[in-house]
Chains A and B, each alone.
Chain A
Amino acid sequence: MTFFMSHAPVLAIIIPLMGAPICALFRGKTAPWLFTLILSGIAFAYSIDLLIAVSANGPISYEIGGWAPPYGIEYVADPLSAFVMVIISGISTGVLLYAKDSIANEVPTSRLGFFFAAYLLALTGMMGITVTGDAFNIFVFLEITSLSSYVLIAMGARQDRRALTAAFQYLIIGTIGATFILIGVGLLYVMTGTLNIADIADKFDSISDTRPIRAAVGFLIVGIAIKLAMFPFHVWLPNAYSYAPNIVTAFFAGTATKVSVYLLIRFIYTVFGADFSFGTVYLTELLLPLGVIAALSMSVVAIFQDNLKRLLAFSSVAQLGYITIAIALATEAGLTAGILHIFNHAIVKTGLFLTVGAMFFATGTTSIKALAGVGQRMPMTSFGFVLGGLGLIGIPLTPGFISKWYLIQAVLERGDYIGYGLAIAILLSSIFAVIYIWRVVEILYFHPSPEGAKGSEAPLSLLIPCWIFILGSFYFGIETSFNVGFAEQAAQFLMGAR
C-alpha cells in the first residue's frame, strides 16, 4: 500500500490516461461505462487520500522518473490542488454513476467506447493541470483536456446538429486561449530559464519589472480568462453546454471552468504573487468590473432564455463572475470565498444539469416551454431541480448560501463604497437568480402539460445520482467543515506562500 500511496499524485493521472486507449477497445453499452466508472472512482479515492495526506503533512512533491526539479517534471499536491482534484474526480465519478442510460440514449452504441475514452482523457487533462508543478506541462494537459472536450461536445450532434458548430467555435476560441497561455509560459521561460512553477516563482521578484514579464502576465490572464469563460470571453460556453450530451454538460459545468479558475488562482497568487498582481499591475481593476458585469448581465440574460440548458449555462457564467470578484479582492477572505464557491457551485450546478438531463431523457427536450407540467409527470426530478435551484439562489441550508455569505463578508471587508456596491450587486444578482429559477419552476409546476405530452418519471438509475448531488449539496450547506475547512486552508496556504 505504501507504494500506491507514495505514488498517489502520479497514479491519479496515469490511471485514467492509460485507461483511455483500452477503453476505446471496449464495445457495447456496459463495458466502457463500467470501466470508466471504476477508473474514475480509483482516481477519486487517490485524490481523497492525497487531500488527507496534504492537509495533515503539508504539500507533497513527486518527481516524475526520479528527476529532481527544477530539471525534471515535478507534481505538487498542495492544499489547493488536492482540493480541486477531489472536486474534479468526485464530480466525474458522480456523473458517471448517472451516465449509463443517459448517454446510451444520446450517442450511438458503436461509439460509446470512443466516447468514454475521450471522457477519460478529459479527466486526465483536468487532473493533470491541477497537480502538475511544471508550467509547460500545464499547457500539455490543457491541450489534452481541450481536444477531448471538443470531441465530447461534438458527440451531441445526433441530438442537434448545432453541436458541431458549437464544438468548432469552442475549438477556435479555445485554441486561441491555449496559444495565449503557451505564449505566456514561453515568455516566462525566456526570462527565468525554468519551467518549474516553484522555481519561476522564486526568480519572479528579481525580473518582475521587465516588459516581457508584463506581456507574459497579459497573455496568461487573457488566455486563462478565455478558458474560464470569464465575461466577455464566454461566447463559446452557452452553445457548447447547450448542445453537448447531457452528461458532458454536467461533467464540464462542475469541472472544466473550475480548473481554469484554479489556474487563475495559481498564476496570480503562486507564480506572480499577490503583491505583484494587485500592487504592481492592477489586476483588481481589470478583473473586478468583468466579474460584476458577468454576475449581473449574464443573470439577466439567463432570465430570458428559452432553453433550460442554455439558461443554466448563462447562470454558470454569472456564477463564475462571483468567483472572479472573489479572486480579484486580493484578500484571504476573498480567496476563501472563491475557492469555496468552486466547490459549492460545482456540486449544485452538476446536480441541476443532471436533473435537466433526466427531464431530457424522459421528454426528449430541454426547451422550457415544452417542459410545461413536468412537475406533475416527473415529481422527483422536478423537486430535485427546485432544491438545486434553491442552492443556486443561495437559500440558507444550501451551499450557495454559504458561498454568498463568505463572499459578502469578504467584499464588505473592504469597508469602502466599492465594497458596499459589490455587496449590492451580489444581492441583486441573487434576486435575478430567484427570477430565472422561478420562471422555470412556474412552468414546470403551474402550467398544464401539453396535449399528448410524453414522459413519466425518470428511471432510478438517473434519479439516484441526481439526488446524491442534491442531498449532498444540502449536506455541504449544513455541515460545512469539509468545504469551508479546506477552502480556508488552501487560501491560508496561498496567502502565506509569499
Chain B
Amino acid sequence: MIEGLNPGIILILGALIVPLTSGFIRGILLLALPVLGLAQLIMLGLGSWGQFEIMGMQLTVTHIDPLSRVFGLIFHVAAFAGILYSLHVKDTMQHVATLIYAGSAIGAVFAGDLITLFTFWEITAVSSVFLIWASRTERSFKSGIRYLIIQVTSGVVLLGGIALYAADTGSIKFETMEFGSLATWFFLIAFGIKAAFPLLHNWVQDSYPEATVTGSVILSAFTTKLAIYALARSFPGTDLLIWIGVVMVIFPVVHATLENDLRRTMAYSLNSQQGFMIIAIGIGGDLAINGVAAHATISILYTCLMFMVTGAALYRTGTAKITELGGLYKSMPVTSTFAILGALIIIAAPLTGAFATKALIMSAALDAKMVILWLAMLFGAVAVIDNVGLKIPLFGFFSKDNGKRFQEAPLHMLLAMAVMAGFGIFIGLSPATFFALLPTPMESHTYTASHVVTQLQLIAFAVLIFALALRTGYYPKMRDSITLDFDWIYRKAGKMALTKTSSIVANFWDQTKGFGLMLVGWAIDKAEKSHGEGQAMSRTVSSGYAVSVILILFGIALVVIYA
C-alpha cells in the first residue's frame, strides 16, 4: 500500500469501484474496504505522512496521533458494522454514498492541516445527504435539502475561519488553538453546527429520522462525532464549551421524553449525549479529553446499536411509532435481546463500556470541582436512562402484545448488532485494553466499589422514577398528537426548575425560529421583488435608460476623480 496513504482515501477510492460490481462480489468488496482501511491505520502507527506544499501552504494529508487514532478506529468499526447492516440494500447510490461518507469522515479525522480537513469536511456533507435522499420520499428530499444547506454552510464558515486563521497566524496546521480571535469563532460555529450545539441542532432531528433505515445508522455514527473530534483537537479547555454543553445535555431531554417516533427519540438523546462530550472538552485536561475520546467511542457503539434495533423493527413492521409497535419481543427475540444490551450500555450498567467511560467525564467534572456541572450531568444521565434505556425497549419491544407477528431481523443485521454490542460489552469487561488506546496513558480504576454502587443507585433511582410515573399514569402517554402534562415526574424528582428552564429555552427557540423564518421569508420576498425575473435589477432596460445610467455613473466618476 502507498506509504502514508490516508485510510479514509482507501474507502473513498474503493467506493468508486462499487458501481462496477454486483451481487456477492459487491458484498465482499463493501466489507473488505473498511477492513483494508483499518489494516492501513494499524500498519501506519503514529506519525505524519503525505506532506506537500501547495500555494505556499504546508499540507499534511495523514497525521495520526493517539487522539485521532481512537476516533479513526471506532469510525472504521462503525463503517464495517454499518455496511454489514445494510448488505440487503440493493441501491448502488446508498452503498457508494456510505463508503464515501465514512471515508471522508475518517479522512477528516486524520487531516493534519485545515485545508485537508475542510476538503473532507465538505465531502462528508455532500455524500451524506444522499443517505437521506435515498428514502426517495418528498419529505426526505426536502429534509435533505435543508440538511445540505446547513452542512455546506458549516463548510463555508469553516473556510472563512481558515482564511482568517491563515492570515492571522500564517499557519494552517490543525492543532490546539487559543480561543478568542475572530477566526476561532468561525471555527467554533462551523464545528458547532456539525456538533449540533443548542439552537444549531435542529438538522439532527429533522434529517436523521427521514433517512433510510440503514442510512440513519450510518449517519448517527459520523457527522456529530467528527465535530466532537474537531472540537477536542482545537479547543480543549475552553470555558464557553462547558455552558454550551450543559444546555445541550438538558435541553433535548424534554423533547425526547415526549417523542412518539423511536428514531426521533434516539436523535434527541443523541443530542443530549453530545452535551456530555462538549462539557468534557470544555473542562479540558488529560482526564477529560480521555473521557471525550472514550465516551465518543462508546456512544457511537450504542447509538448505532439502538438505531440498528429500531431500524430492524421499522424494516420488519414498517413503522417506528411506539403506539403502533408492541409485543415485538415475541416476534423478534434476538433483536429484542440486542435492544436490552444496548439499553444496558446506555444506562451505563456495570460490565458495559459506558460504565467505564462515562465515569471518566464525571470524575473529570468532580476533579475540577464543578458541582453544578456534575449535577447537570447527573440529570442528563437519569434522563437518558429513562428516555432511551427504558423507553425504547419497554415500549417498543415489551409493551402489550397487539397480536401482530413479524419475522426476525435478517441475519446480517443481527451480526452487525452483534459487532456493536460485542465491542460495547468488551470495553466494559476489559477497560484496560481500551484505555491503553486513549490519548493519555492512565490507570483504570473502573470497578471500585463506590463507583459500582453509585451507578447502580443511579440506575435504580431512574428505574424507580420511571416505574412510579408509569404506575401512577403520569408518564406521558405515547400518542400521535402530543399534548401532555409532563412535568409531574420532574417535580417529583425535584427537577421542576430545570424543566421550566428547558421549556423557556424551547419557547425562546420557537420564537427565534419563527422570527428567523419570517426574516428569511421577508428577505426572499424582497429579493424576488427586486431581483426576480423581469424586476428592477434583471429587467432588460431600453438603451436610452442604459445610456442615462452610464452618464450618471460617469458624472459620479468625474466627481470622485476631481475630488
Contact = CB atoms under 8 A, between A and B. Distances in A.
Interface of A: 168-169, 172-173, 176, 180, 211, 214-215, 217-219, 221-222, 225-226, 232-233, 235-236, 238-239, 281-283, 285-286, 297-298, 300-301, 303-306, 314, 395-397, 402, 405-406, 408-409, 412-413, 420, 423-424, 427, 430-431, 434, 446, 480, 484
Contact of A434 (B152, B537, B541): B152
Given A420-B182, A484-B55, A218 B557 contact: yes
Contacts of B152: 431, 434
Contact of B553 (A173, A232, A413, A434): A232
21 contacts: A168-B543, A169-B540, A173-B546, A173-B550, A214-B558, A232-B553, A233-B546, A235-B546, A236-B546, A238-B538, A238-B540, A281-B563, A297-B531, A300-B527, A306-B533, A397-B119, A402-B55, A405-B55, A406-B55, A408-B160, A434-B152
Bin the interface of chain B by size.
Answer: 35 or more
B43 interface: no
A423 B531 contact: no
Interface in B133-182: 141, 152-153, 156, 159-160, 163-164, 166-167, 182
A409 B141 contact: no
B538 A304 contact: yes
Given A235-B540, A235-B541, A405-B55, A214 B562 contact: yes
Given A215-B558, A396-B122, A409-B167, A304 B156 contact: no
Q: Is the interface of B mostly helix, strand, loop or mixed?
A: helix
B522 interface: no
A434 B118 CA distance: 17
B439 to A, nearest CB: 29
A331 to B, nearest CB: 13
Interface string B530-563: 0111010110110100110110011011101111
A333 to B, nearest CB: 10
Contacts of B156: 427, 430-431
Interface string B345-380: 000000000000000000000000000000000000
B325 interface: no
Nearest to B555: A218
Contacts of A232: 549, 553
A282 B560 contact: yes
A173 B558 contact: no
A83 B141 CA distance: 45
Contacts of B2: none
Given A304-B532, A306-B533, A396-B118, A285 B560 contact: yes
Contact of A409 (B166, B532, B543, B553): B166
B163 A405 contact: yes
Nearest to A479: B54
B531 A173 contact: no
Nearest to B535: A304
B560 A172 contact: no
Nearest to B563: A282
A405 B537 CA distance: 29
A109 B182 CA distance: 61
B561 A218 contact: yes
A305 B538 contact: yes
Given A306-B533, A446-B141, A408 B55 contact: no
User: Which 3 residue pairs of A and B lie closest in terms of their CB atoms, listed nearest first?
Assistant: A304-B532, A412-B167, A301-B538
A233 B549 contact: yes
Contacts of B557: 218, 221-222, 286
A172 B547 contact: yes
B91 interface: no
Contact of B546 (A169, A218, A282, A283): A169
A172 B543 CA distance: 7
A301 B546 contact: no
B115 interface: yes
A275 to B, nearest CB: 15
Contact of A222 (B55, B164, B537, B554): B554
Contacts of A396: 115, 118-119, 122
Nearest to B56: A484
B561 A214 contact: yes
B287 to A, nearest CB: 37
Contacts of A219: 554
Contacts of A300: 527, 531, 537
Nearest to A431: B156
Contact of B543 (A173, A282, A305): A173
Contacts of A297: 531, 537
B528 interface: yes
Contacts of A282: 560-561, 563
Which of B54, B532, B553 has the most chain A CB atoms inside 10 A of its CB?
B553
A127 B118 CA distance: 40
A282 B541 CA distance: 30
Q: Is the interface of A mostly helix, strand, loop or mixed?
A: helix
A105 B219 CA distance: 48
Contacts of A305: 533, 538
Given A283-B560, A397-B119, 17 more contacts: A173-B546, A173-B550, A176-B550, A225-B553, A226-B550, A233-B550, A281-B563, A286-B556, A286-B557, A286-B560, A301-B538, A304-B527, A305-B533, A396-B118, A409-B163, A434-B152, A480-B55
Contact of A281 (B538, B549, B561): B561
Nearest to B541: A235
Contacts of A236: 546
Which of A176, A215, A283, A446 has the most chain B CB atoms inside 10 A of its CB?
A176
A402 B115 CA distance: 12
A431 B148 CA distance: 12
B553 A222 contact: yes
B59 to A, nearest CB: 11
B419 to A, nearest CB: 34
A423 B160 contact: yes
Contacts of A215: 558
A330 to B, nearest CB: 15
Interface in B238-266: none
A175 to B, nearest CB: 10
Nearest to B120: A396
B167 A431 contact: no
A296 to B, nearest CB: 10
Contacts of A430: 156
A314 B538 contact: yes
Nearest to B544: A172
Contacts of B115: 396
Contact of B560 (A235, A239, A281, A301): A281
B37 to A, nearest CB: 22
A304 B531 contact: yes
A446 B133 CA distance: 11
A413 B182 CA distance: 15
A173 B541 CA distance: 12
B541 A412 contact: no
A304 B118 CA distance: 30
A176 B54 CA distance: 45
B163 A423 contact: yes
Contacts of B538: 238, 301, 304-305, 314
A235 B542 CA distance: 9
B537 A412 contact: no
Given A297-B531, A306-B533, A480-B54, A408 B163 contact: yes
Nearest to A299: B531
Contacts of B167: 409, 412-413
A222 B551 CA distance: 9
A440 B456 CA distance: 57
A176 B119 contact: no
Contacts of B554: 180, 218-219, 222
Nearest to B166: A409
Interface in B98-156: 115, 118-119, 122, 141, 152-153, 156
Nearest to A211: B562
A481 to B, nearest CB: 9
A484 B55 CA distance: 8
Contacts of A225: 553
